[in-house]
Amino acid sequence: MMKCIAVDDEPLALEIIEDFARKAPFPMHLKKFEDAALALRYLQEEPVDLLFLDIKMPDINGIQFLKALKNPPAVIFTTAYQEYALDGFNMDVVDYLLKPIPFERFIKAVTKVHEYLQVQQKNGEVATSADYIFVKTEYKIIKVNFEDILYIEALKDYIKIYTRNQPVLTLKSLKSFESRLPKDKFIRVHRSYLVSLDKINSVEKNSVVIANQYIPISEGYRDKFYELITKNS
């Protein structure tokens, strides 16, 4: 069951979300909050899969609320103000629902989260038994095939996944993302880089060459890297 909370200062808006959640094609358990402070305290104590969050609220707005969360769940903004869409993009929310919310848009948004959670549960948070991974980026959750990944670069609070097609930016640490990758296909060569072993074209001095890009091998990862490629040579 998908565990959800909805935070909105308008009781009618909460009732609509609750009604839509009951009609979803998969089970959703929803808890409603008109008081944002109470919702914050609840999130500090209880794990939640999905947060429906209004933006314009008294005392604290939705943007401030989300920034206050250390480990936010999947978030869907619900608001009557379209001008906040860019804020949602920058904060990597799953979707942005404009009030009055049509039922079909609600279902489309929650289905993205549901599919993502199913993959996580199936693979025990570590997608080593599958050949893909779901990544939350911009307004959506996208599927990235392992075979398409060239290398991954850490950029402060984000990581950039370089694929055969286009780079994918997501709000993750390199360490947490590494734990979700198969260890026989990817290796850390630098505190800021993970590379696909299959995509290495050559190793030159202290660099790995992938798709004409030179990726540094740092001293802390050098021994383990050379031990692995020597074993496979």
Catalogue the E-assigned strands of 88-181: 95-98, 132-137, 140-145, 149-155, 158-163, 168-170
- The verdict on 138 and 165 lying in the same domain is yes
Does some domain include residue 127? no
**Of 75, 102, 122, which marks where a domain is finished?**
122
- The verdict on 38 and 147 lying in the same domain is no
**Of 74, 89, 122, which marks where a domain is finished?**
122
- The verdict on 117 and 136 lying in the same domain is no
Does some domain include residue 208? yes
Query: Which residues span the domain enclosing 115?
Result: 2-122
**Closest Cα partner for 34 from 5, 52, 55, 11?**
11
> For 44-76, what is each residue's pLDDT tens digit?
888 899 999 998 898 888 889 988 887 788 899
**Of 71, 88, 122, which marks where a domain is finished?**
122
- The verdict on 109 and 161 lying in the same domain is no
- The verdict on 20 and 117 lying in the same domain is yes
- At 228, phi and psi to the nearest 5? -70, -45
The mean per-residue pLDDT over the stretch 104-113 comes to 93
- The verdict on 71 and 147 lying in the same domain is no
Asked if 114 and 2 count as a contact pair (C-beta separation under 8 A), the reply is yes
What CATH number is given to the structural domain containing 165? Answer: 2.40.50.1020
- The verdict on 108 and 219 lying in the same domain is no
Could you tell me the sign of the dihedral formed by the alpha carbons of 190, 191, 192, 196, in that order?
positive
> For 152-211, what is each residue's pLDDT tens digit?
999 977 899 999 988 999 888 888 788 778 888 899 999 999 999 999 999 988 899 999
- The verdict on 151 and 226 lying in the same domain is yes
Asked if residue 88 has pLDDT above 60, the reply is no
- The verdict on 141 and 159 lying in the same domain is yes
Look at residue 85 in the predicted model and tell me its pLDDT. 54
What CATH number is given to the structural domain containing 89? Answer: 3.40.50.2300
Segment (H or E) for 84 = none
Asked if 2 and 29 count as a contact pair (C-beta separation under 8 A), the reply is yes
Cα-to-chain-centroid distance, residue 209: 28
The verdict on pTM exceeding 0.75 is no
- The verdict on 86 and 159 lying in the same domain is no
Cα-to-chain-centroid distance, residue 115: 13
Query: How many domains are there within the chain?
Result: 2
